[in-house]
Amino acid sequence: MTELAPIVLFTYKRLDTLQQTVHALANNSLADKSDLIIYSDGAKKLEDEPIIQEIRNYLKTVTGFKSVTIHESPINKGLATSIINGVSEVMAMYKKAIVLEDDLITSTNFLEYMNQALNYYQDNPRILSVSGYSPIIKGLNPNEIYYTQRASSWGWACWEDRWQKIDWQAQSYESFVKDSQAKSRFNQMGSDMCLMMKRQMQGKINSWAIRFCFHQFQNDLYSVHPSISKIQNIGFSEKNATNTVQKYNRFQSEFDKSNSLAFNFNTVIQLDKRLIQQFVRDNSIKMRILNKVLNYIQ
């Protein structure tokens, strides 16, 4: 049997969603055969220290996995640094990893899907990542997959040989920003892409995910997505959410409750324009404006 990928879970100060995340993960068919590695970030403010300690006390009670390893940071690193450093550390040991944050509910077949995909595409360097999340996509059978050139940060997996090639400083951005055609192509995976990358380079945001996607674009790489999402994000209305607090969630998707363990992976790597139009819909200007309006009036 091929060795299972470790699960890397990043948490900060959301105890309620963390507990739901761990509970759902433990219900996965491969949980008891998988190593769980948890990174707990340190408090940013003095007032956050009690909840951080409460979270760490809870983490010490987590069971249901092959092993549970907890890394407690004495300082606040922030999500981007925590993920880049933590995933790099795990990749060096295991050569692959499945990554989650503390506000993601996984389907019972999430680990099966992720591990099967990691094994299937292991020797295909054109695949940068496996995504567990998918927006609502019509026109595919339940166990099918599709390809995009925009990785998802909600329940994903990668291999060390691809991860270690990422330039987190994005040194090619200076030439990219002068190329109008390149910027237009980058935005084909969502009209928010160039704006987020610009804000990243200006220091207005600190996102590992947009740099991951920029590397993907620059190197013409792909991500694999399930036709029905294996991930449900519950962090949008959580009061202690770090980056996503809102009442209306434009990213609501169909959630896989099938328990199916068979998936139709394929080697025909291409973009289906019909599917891509559906995929980028939630990140369109129209949907972003609608999202702001609905959150304002609720």
Question: For position 281, what pLDDT does the model report?
Answer: 85
pLDDT of residue 2: 81
What residue ranges do the domains of the chain occupy?
A: 7-168+207-297
For residue 273, CA distances in Å to 142, 223, 278, 284 come to: 19, 15, 9, 15
Contact 79, 242 (CB under 8 A): yes
8 A C-beta contact, residue 14 and residue 103: yes
Q: Which CATH number fits domain 7-168+207-297: 3.90.550.10, 3.40.50.1010, 3.30.70.370, 3.20.20.10?
A: 3.90.550.10
Q: What is the pLDDT of residues 181-203, one digit of tens each?
A: 999 999 999 999 999 999 999 99
Structure tokens given for 214: 């920029």
Q: How confident is the model at residue 289 (pLDDT cuts 50, 70, 90)?
A: very low
Give the amino acid at 208. Answer: W
State pLDDT tens for residues 87-141: 999 999 999 999 999 999 999 999 999 999 999 999 999 999 999 999 999 999 9
Phi, psi at 70, each rounded to 5° = -120, 125
Q: What is the pLDDT of residue 250?
A: 52
Q: Is 248's pLDDT higher than 50?
A: no
